[in-house]
Structure 1
Amino acid sequence: MGTVVEQGSGVLNGRANLDVFSETLQALADKDKSVVVVTSDSRGSGKLTPFGQKFPRQIVEIGIAEQNLVGVAAGLASTGKKVFAVSPACFLTARALEQIKNDVAYSDNPVKLIGISAGVSYGALGTTHHSLHDLAVLRAINNIIIVAPADNYETEQAIRRAAELPHPVYLRFGKKAMPHLTAASPDDFEFGKARIIREGDDLTFVATGETVHPALAAAEKLAGQNIQAGVVSMHTIKPLDRDLLSSLGRAGRPVVTVEEHMINGGLGEACASFMFQQGFRNAFRIVGIPDEYTVTGSQAEIFSHYGISKDGLSEVALNLLNKRL
């Protein structure tokens, strides 16, 4: 079962997860010279300029060559280095997919793949720059943990744990400031163990990454209508928290999954596949980006268009509770 944390509105009073990633990485490198960053012309966008200035011998600039990025990262990891390979998620998981599959996962080189500007963070740059496939393609590859932190706390804990893990990890980060969802202690974070952000007996939102906050906002709107919606941060997409999903299945309440990803092959299909194969028949909806090229706009505008918002998610929940399609 996931860890229960304090309820609250999750006000956007935190920093961008990438800022926390950069600071945590510097703290690790300050104590461990085996920590190395490999980047593909992403020092600025990856918030790595301070790292490079402080640790010039622990950063490798590959240039815009993602396949080389992953190959070099795998080689360094095979020598005992704690390697963080940083690149825009859309390019890292598409251009270098073969290298991730063979050089990292198949060879069990403990590279930490950091997908920055994930989901629709690039906004109006459009489909070529959106990473709405990354969860799906990496879920299909054996031996890689997939993580999408929902706040600064999850980000710091994920980076610290990933650095010590002797296996591949993929972490995806967006650009915007994130909410503080909890003041929990570090012992409350674990890969494969979801966090219960809000309890609720009527239905449950299971969200990941930057969609956890709109799910929480929807739950609080529903509370004004005497509907108690639970909110779960499923920060680890692979492996899933099967114990938590089983508990939701046994409770029988409706489940709405929410993700900044194509509805094909992501969090929703992963949860549905597990629950339905276990014999659970909860009312179930997947909210994400439909099987189409996205509209043009900012991340907030794209979220709103596809219903990844307080109003859109509360409407989905009400329709599900009322058994309307």
Structure 2
Amino acid sequence: MAENTVKKIATRESYGNALVELGTRNPDVVVLDADLAEATKTGVFKKAFPDRHIDCGIAEGNMVGVAAGLATTGKIPFVSSFAMFAAGRAFEQVRNSVGYPHLNVKIGATHAGITVGEDGASHQCNEDIALMRTIPGMVVMCPADDVEAKAAVMAAAEYEGPVYLRFGRAACPVINDRPDYHFEIGKGTVVREGMDLTIVATGICVGNALEAAEMLAAEGVSAEVINICTIKPLDEDIIIKSAKKTGKIVTAEEHSVIGGLGSAVCDAVCKSYPVPVMKIGMQDVFGESGSAGALLEKYKLDGKGIYGQIKEFLENGLCTF
């Protein structure tokens, strides 16, 4: 399929649309936002259900506290803001008011990673997955496309307990639009079979990893690509099974290589089946202002960048065929 015919949708759009569908199904679903309803796309829920949308203003910690209170009454609150504010500014409230009592609060964090673009380093949250993984009992999900984002929101609403959902600002290709697609919390998916190495990716990097796999295939390298939406709990079985087949792993994420998907994968393989792992992501640096595409290219998180880093990994003498 030609690149210009691939359907692209930002997962923050998917979040807003899924909330409306949820609101129609379940009157207990309520949505809270921190004066960002237009950007987080919860405005569509506000329009459909104005009595179930609460704008808490620019007070993210208070918003999480309100959501915690609503959860104790049987409501299913979705807290919405940019990842930098939902996971960063409100971390203490998420930890103590939601995580510690294990309340049924869902956190919809949009504008994650460097694809926030021109808003710059202060708004580009590359630490949120690491932060949320450390909270006991917190489920952490980072969907790859529109189909998966909607499925993740629906699954989060059904799940009893705290959930962190990570969404992006930039439009990304729809890769899961197929009849046999099935979503389950805690389960990864092999989206491309391969024998020579395993690429474990999450979020926007799944589509980019598939691009990289195509480039590698042109050079005779068979890459298996695994889409991991649920980073916690991690599907260790699918990763270990692939590692036993290929003998080497590359992880790819629009997040710091410290504490994110790569760290979770390393924990899993070190425990069960040690193999060489290379982590592709933000290499202990802050982002900067620029277009989403330019930033992905600069930090080597686009298809070409992932391909180039994998080539170096394969040619450095540690991994050979």
Question: TM-score if structure 1 supplies the norm length?
Answer: 0.93
Indicate yes or no: 2:279 matched with 1:286: yes
Given candidates 36, 39, 44, the residue that maps to 2:38 is 44
- Per the alignment, residue 113 of structure 2 pairs with 119
Indicate yes or no: 2:160 matched with 1:160: no
1:297 Cα deviation (Å)? 1.6
- Per the alignment, residue 3 of structure 1 pairs with none
What amino acid maps onto 1:53 in structure 2? K
d(CA) in 2 for partners of 1:211 and 1:104?
A: 29
- Per the alignment, residue 89 of structure 2 pairs with 95
Given that 2:10 and 2:172 are in contact with CA atoms closer than 8 Å, whether structure 1 keeps it comes out as yes
More divergent stretch after superposition (35-44 vs 297-306): 297-306
Given candidates 229, 243, 248, the residue that maps to 1:235 is 229
Given that 2:188 and 2:226 are in contact with CA atoms closer than 8 Å, whether structure 1 keeps it comes out as yes
Report runs of 4+ in structure 1 exceeding 3 Å deviation. 7-12, 183-187
Alignment of 1:175-254 (within 5 A): 175-185=169-179, 188-254=182-248
Taking structure 1 as reference, are residues 8 and 258 closer, same or farther at Cα in structure 2, changes over 3 Å only? farther
Indicate yes or no: 2:9 matched with 1:19: no
1:52 Cα deviation (Å)? 1.0
Given that 1:10 and 1:216 are in contact with CA atoms closer than 8 Å, whether structure 2 keeps it comes out as no
1:177 Cα deviation (Å)? 1.9
d(CA) in 2 for partners of 1:52 and 1:246?
A: 43
Indicate yes or no: 2:267 matched with 1:269: no
Taking structure 1 as reference, are residues 75 and 187 closer, same or farther at Cα in structure 2, changes over 3 Å only? farther
Instruction: Specify the SS of the correspondent of 1:107.
Output: coil
Question: TM-score if structure 2 supplies the norm length?
Answer: 0.94
Percent of aligned pairs sharing the same letter: 36
Alignment of 1:33-112 (within 5 A): 33-112=27-106
d(CA) in 2 for partners of 1:213 and 1:102?
A: 36
d(CA) in 2 for partners of 1:186 and 1:32?
A: 26
1:46 Cα deviation (Å)? 1.1
What amino acid maps onto 2:51 in structure 1? R
d(CA) in 2 for partners of 1:94 and 1:288?
A: 19
Indicate yes or no: 2:299 matched with 1:306: yes
Aligned length: 318
d(CA) in 1 for partners of 2:226 and 2:304?
A: 18
Given that 2:29 and 2:77 are in contact with CA atoms closer than 8 Å, whether structure 1 keeps it comes out as yes
Taking structure 1 as reference, are residues 120 and 281 closer, same or farther at Cα in structure 2, changes over 3 Å only? same
More divergent stretch after superposition (223-232 vs 57-66): 223-232
What amino acid maps onto 2:310 in structure 1? A
What amino acid maps onto 1:285 in structure 2? M
Given that 2:115 and 2:293 are in contact with CA atoms closer than 8 Å, whether structure 1 keeps it comes out as no
1:136 Cα deviation (Å)? 0.7
Give RMSD over aligned pairs. Answer: 1.9
Given that 1:157 and 1:186 are in contact with CA atoms closer than 8 Å, whether structure 2 keeps it comes out as no
- Per the alignment, residue 322 of structure 1 pairs with 315
1:29 Cα deviation (Å)? 0.8
Given that 1:9 and 1:217 are in contact with CA atoms closer than 8 Å, whether structure 2 keeps it comes out as no
Q: Which runs of 5+ in 2 are unaligned?
A: none
d(CA) in 2 for partners of 1:183 and 1:133?
A: 29
1:254 Cα deviation (Å)? 1.6
